[in-house]
Amino acid sequence: MKQRIQKYILLVAIAFTLLHVGCTKSVDLQPVNELSDASFWKSPDQFKLAANEFYSYLVSFGNVLYDGPHSDIRGDLTTYRSPFSNGTNALSSTDGNWNFSRVRAVNYLLDRAASYPAPADIARYVAEAKFFRAYLYFDLLQLYGQVPIVDKVLSINSPELMAPRNTRDEVVDFIVKNLEEAIAVLPPENAILAPDKGRISKGAAQAFLGRVALYEGTWQKFRAGNTRANALLDKSVANSDAVLTGNLYQLFAPAVLGDSAQKYLFILEDEKSNPAGINKSANKEYILANRYSFTQRQVRNNVTHTWLGAGTTKKFADMFLCQDGLPVEKSPLFQGYAQTRSEYINRDNRMRYTMMIDSSYYWDNELPGSRITWASDAADIAGSRGRHNAATGTGYQTQKWGSERRLQDNEEGYDWPVIRLAEVQLNYAEAVFERNGIISDADLDKSLNLVRNRVNKTMPKLSNALVTANGLNMRTEIRRERNIELFLEGFRVDDLKRWKTAETEMPMNILGIKWTGTRWQTRWVVSGNSPYPVDANGNLIFEGSRVWAQKNYLLPAPTQQIQLNPNLAPNNPGW
């Protein structure tokens, strides 16, 4: 019986299919586990080809903009209902995320590399493999906490097939070790030749280690105290700082695009996709991207029609500061909610390029509806999709990820930012603050304020004086910048979990626009009534009765896996 179970596990582990991952011939190859040892692993080029498969493991549109464990759909800032967002997900027998087949593929390359006669010639691809092993284990850590560490190729008789889960600390240490070994070998961005652009760089590995260490450092800080947290936060600061001081990346902010650079960054293609005709070569912000192309590798998800006009929430809208750097509840510049457009006046410019404003003109990928002159002139407006009617859903909609150029559904060719410089800058500021309880203005200026002022040239910087003078909270303001900048990029749910604030934020009602006593009350009515229930403050309640239990901080290990290997028990707390 035990042998049959072991064979089953092995078959599951090796049954995976290669995805088409790149825009050049170098990324097309057989899956690693289908390669013949007799004819392969004989040259550095073959190791390179094998490593190319791992790039298909990178997160992308399908993982984040649609339902998935890191998707914003499972959070509290969008209107997509999910059992994972309202706390009603149940124990399951299977879960595709509990998957070690990709770990096996990475281990297979590392196993073959161990006997290669000229290790220096393949050191770069070994380092890439270690990066991806860390990448895969960080995903498992975020979802399940404790998981088995498998660092070699297993046979059907390997005792590790029946091993218990490793502790959370052991998993984190394993991830860090792999990343630090990769960082020591990987080339810096400016040493990567043009044919290899897009491969893992030293900066990408440092940035990712900064993310990992911030995640686990704050997870530990808000649960178990600072002993282990401080060492991890130090590691986050050091690695994020190495990326920032290396000066090999820069925020996307072409002067010709002005404030709209924030919008067009995310829909940048080599075809004309913005008023200035700037293409992907101008984007030095993406440190690591899942790369797509209209001509060679289309996204193949209906991104524009899914997210242009998709619902977001009052909570998100209220996060945007006013142009004086103060939140809506404190700023004299805030124009209130009385009119359908009033709350967008004098706000952070990211608000009008992330969200859609009632009665403004917008474009999409349809004909008519897409851009004609790209000048927002009469001809362009005549070809637009018309004035936006926000009287639907919550009354708040997003335009992030929506193309404006004419193309068929599913044919978008913009890249997915796996890691971008803005995140690293925000990681640095948060890690410094959480490590020390304070952050200097100099540290804010080299990190968070660059993100904040990218498209807000006259907005006051975040500073200790601004916080003190206006009764603000530095932690709240640091998190605010992160929530706004990284919206719909797959961070919100994991951030709430590591901050241990999901139990407070997630059960909150999903609210829409202020309806009572505003222009909405006469503009948007259903049989003389509000379209949804209204709370005591006159705001629409789009979804209520949300819950969040302590068990929801981690997913349960699938029960089928525990049946196959009883040593994986007990399951995660509460399950």
pLDDT in tens, 356-390: 999 999 999 999 999 999 999 999 999 999 999 99
CA distance 61 to 302: 10
Q: Distance between terminal CA atoms of the chain?
A: 27
Per-residue pLDDT at 3 exceeds 50: no
Please answer whether residues 165 and 182 qualify as being in contact, where contact means their C-beta atoms are separated by less than 8 angstroms: no
Confidence (pLDDT) at 6? 37
Residue span of the structural domain in which 147 resides: 1-57+96-185+549-564
* Mean pLDDT across 84-95: 92
CATH code of the domain in which 179 resides: 1.25.40.890
For residue 358, give the nearest of 534, 519, 531, 529 by alpha carbon: 519
* Tens digit of each residue's pLDDT (9 = 90 or more) over 515-545: 999 999 999 989 889 999 999 999 999 999 9
Per-residue pLDDT at 278 exceeds 90: yes
CA distance 176 to 413: 33
Q: Is residue 326 part of a domain?
A: no
Per-residue pLDDT at 18 exceeds 60: no
Structure tokens at 67: 């339902």
* Tens digit of each residue's pLDDT (9 = 90 or more) over 473-489: 999 999 999 999 999 99
For residue 9, give the nearest of 564, 559, 568 by alpha carbon: 564
Per-residue pLDDT at 326 exceeds 60: yes
- pLDDT tier for residue 571 given thresholds of 50, 70 and 90: very high
CA distance 573 to 575: 6
Confidence (pLDDT) at 7? 35
Q: What percent of the chain has pLDDT over 70?
A: 94
Confidence (pLDDT) at 390? 98
- pLDDT tier for residue 224 given thresholds of 50, 70 and 90: confident
Other beta carbons less than 10 A from residue 173's beta carbon: 14
Q: Is residue 128 part of a domain?
A: yes
Of 225 and 533, the one with more pLDDT: 533
Tell whether omega for the bond before 531 is within 30 degrees of 0, i.e. cis. Answer: no
Quote the crossing angle between the two packed helices 168-183 and 123-144, to the nearest 10°: 150
Tokens 């990324």 identify what position?
27
Q: Is residue 18 part of a domain?
A: yes
Q: Is residue 327 part of a domain?
A: no
Q: Is residue 73 part of a domain?
A: no
Q: What percent of the chain has pLDDT over 90?
A: 91
Other beta carbons less than 10 A from residue 499's beta carbon: 18
Confidence (pLDDT) at 24? 38
Q: Is residue 236 part of a domain?
A: no
Q: Is residue 139 part of a domain?
A: yes
* Mean pLDDT across 172-176: 98
CA 332 to chain centre: 34
What three-state secondary structure class fits 255?
Answer: helix
CA distance 463 to 474: 9
Domain total in the chain: 1
Structure tokens at 335: 């124009």
* Mean pLDDT across 123-131: 98
Which residue blocks in 16-162 are alpha helix, DSSP H?
Answer: 44-52, 61-64, 101-113, 123-144
What three-state secondary structure class fits 420?
Answer: strand
User: 33-40: which pairs have CB atoms within 8 A and are 24 or more residues apart?
Assistant: 33/104, 33/105, 33/108, 37/112
For residue 206, give the nearest of 288, 314, 271, 119 by alpha carbon: 288
Confidence (pLDDT) at 193? 97
Q: Is residue 138 part of a domain?
A: yes
